[in-house]
Amino acid sequence: MELTLTPEETAFQHEVRDFIEEKYPSDIRDKIELGQRLDKDDYVRWQKILNDRGWIAPGWPAELGGTGWTPMQKHLFEEELAEADTPRIMPFGLVMVAPVIMAFGNDEQKQKYLPRILSSQDWWCQGYSEPGSGSDLASLQTKAVRDGDHYIVNGQKTWTTLAQYADMMFTLVRTSSEGKPQQGISFLLIDMNSPGVSVDPIVTIDGGREVNSVFLEDVRVPVENRIGEENKGWTYAKFLLGHERTSIAATGRSKKLLKRLKEIASEEIGDDGAPLDQDTGFMSRVADVEIRLLALESVVLRVLYAEQAGAAPGPDASLLKIEGTLIQQDLTELAREAVGNYAFPFIPEAFDPLWNEDRVGPDYAAPLAPVYFNWRKASIYGGSNEVQRGIISKHVLGL
């Protein structure tokens, strides 16, 4: 069912909408509308604008810089950002490592890192996956050997999103080989400017440099940069992944894409010469995705209210991750299908700011291909959907 808002919630929605209309930089808006790639400055500028308004960390406790919003207000805020096509708020600091620092870090770590995350002074990346250790994260091999007040870290991390911009990386390292693999993992915060850290790009199928390999060669990391106890990092990692998987659902972005899909269907012509929104077969598939999206939205709100009551993310986060990413992929598939041949000519260079050649087809056709390609990975990152189904079968179904 559609959400029914109270007068107070409607007023809040309009407040957010008016703020975005006034403060959203036009040059960043134009780049997104044209499908051009954003750089670090674009993301940081927008995050600083939100932080100046006190809106950068809706999920944080108010005493640490959060908003004090209700779950519905958080949800409406995300929807308005998505509707306006603002840059994505980078989750690695605000949504992922910050809750870990709040829950398991010491006072010095909280005082040092949390304000820098709020102000975007530090850009964070996630050092979890390794070559051969992605879905089977417990098999990671990056080692950290204690040397007095430091760890000496050696290994490689991969698929590290936007590591080329990062000042800090939260990472899992092996500090013991005794017992079960999960028992020998620790959670370290690594300065990306440390000697021995190098970043190599991995160019994705959409032509972008979103992910990287990070090499760690004799990197000295102060012991004070360890979160919690040594060899207890698996506990902190699972806590973090619950927050990541909840955010991956991204219902606001999907609702925006659904709206655009319907607009395209009203313009594109089908095989019979009529607009696609007159094609009952095509529109029944659109309706199926829309129904699933509404159901997902209700579960997202339920999880948000549970978290406000103090519950940690549980198996529900796996459900959100699975269904959210499948909906994203289905929507991009339908949009690509609706545009037809105009979605096929894919020239990665066309999304660079200096590109001045004519595009093929309508303006909305060109960005569809890179979005379609990019969202193929959505069912893999954050723990593959196959792994999430295993979590649900174990913790919900008891299998």
- Lowest-confidence region among 17-26, 290-299, 331-340, 369-378: 369-378
By CB neighbour count within 10 A (0-12 exposed, 13-18 middle, 19+ buried), where does 323 fall? Answer: buried
Length of the chain: 399
- Lowest-confidence region among 37-41, 189-193, 318-322, 391-395: 391-395
Phi, psi of 391 (to 5 degrees): -65, -45
The yes-or-no verdict on residue 226 having pLDDT over 90 is yes
Cβ neighbors of 382 (< 8 A, separation 6 or more) are: 241, 244, 245, 248, 321
Per mean pLDDT, which of 262-271, 291-300, 369-378 is the most reliable?
291-300
CATH number at residue 136: 2.40.110.10
Q: In this structure, what token pair is assigned to residue 383?
A: 């723990």
pTM: 0.84
Q: Are residues 296 and 329 in the same domain?
A: yes
Classify residue 17: in a domain, yes or no. yes
CA-nearest of 229, 224, 217, 216 to 148 is: 224
Classify residue 59: in a domain, yes or no. yes
pLDDT band at 297 (very low <50, low <70, confident <90, very high): confident
Classify residue 345: in a domain, yes or no. yes
Q: How far is CA 24 from each of CA 9, 43, 229, rounded to the nearest angstrom?
A: 22, 12, 42
Quickly tell me which residue has 């674009």 as its tokens: 42
Q: What is the pLDDT of residue 103?
A: 93
Q: Are residues 255 and 327 in the same domain?
A: yes
DSSP label at 181?
Answer: G
pLDDT band at 127 (very low <50, low <70, confident <90, very high): very high
C-alpha radius of gyration, the chain, whole number: 22
Q: How far is CA 53 from each of CA 16, 77, 125, 183, 252, rounded to the nearest angstrom?
A: 11, 13, 25, 42, 21
Q: Are residues 220 and 253 in the same domain?
A: no
pLDDT band at 174 (very low <50, low <70, confident <90, very high): very high
Q: Are residues 210 and 280 in the same domain?
A: no
Average pLDDT over residues 275-294: 92
Q: What is the pLDDT of residue 339?
A: 82
Number of domains the chain is built from: 3
Average pLDDT over residues 26-32: 92
- Give yes or no for a contact between 171 and 155, defined as CB atoms under 8 angstroms apart: no
Q: Are residues 282 and 383 in the same domain?
A: yes
Q: Are residues 274 and 384 in the same domain?
A: yes
Average pLDDT over residues 189-214: 92
Q: How many CB atoms lie within 10 A of CB 311?
A: 11
The yes-or-no verdict on residue 309 having pLDDT over 80 is no
Angle between helices 40-53 and 26-33 (to 10 degrees): 130
Q: What is the pLDDT of residue 270?
A: 65
CATH number at residue 391: 1.20.140.10
Classify residue 242: in a domain, yes or no. no
Q: pLDDT tens for residues 78-100? A: 999 999 999 999 999 999 999 99
Quick one: what percent of the chain has pLDDT higher than 90?
A: 54
Q: Are residues 390 and 265 in the same domain?
A: yes
- Lowest-confidence region among 8-22, 74-88, 354-368, 382-396: 354-368
Q: How far is CA 338 from each of CA 264, 265, 335, 343, rounded to the nearest angstrom?
A: 7, 7, 5, 9
Q: pLDDT tens for residues 32-70? A: 887 788 999 999 999 999 999 999 999 899 999 999 898
Specify the 3-state DSSP secondary structure of 143.
strand
What CA dihedral angle connects 199, 204, 210 and 213, to 10 degrees? -20
Mark which of 205, 232, 259 sits at the end of a domain.
232
Q: Are residues 270 and 144 in the same domain?
A: no
CA-nearest of 340, 343, 160, 324 to 247 is: 324
Catalytic positions are: 244
- Domain extent, residue 62, equals 7-89
Specify the 3-state DSSP secondary structure of 280.
helix
Q: Are residues 254 and 375 in the same domain?
A: yes
Specify the 3-state DSSP secondary structure of 220.
strand
Mark which of 89, 115, 145 sits at the end of a domain.
89
The yes-or-no verdict on residue 356 having pLDDT over 70 is no
Q: Are residues 371 and 290 in the same domain?
A: yes
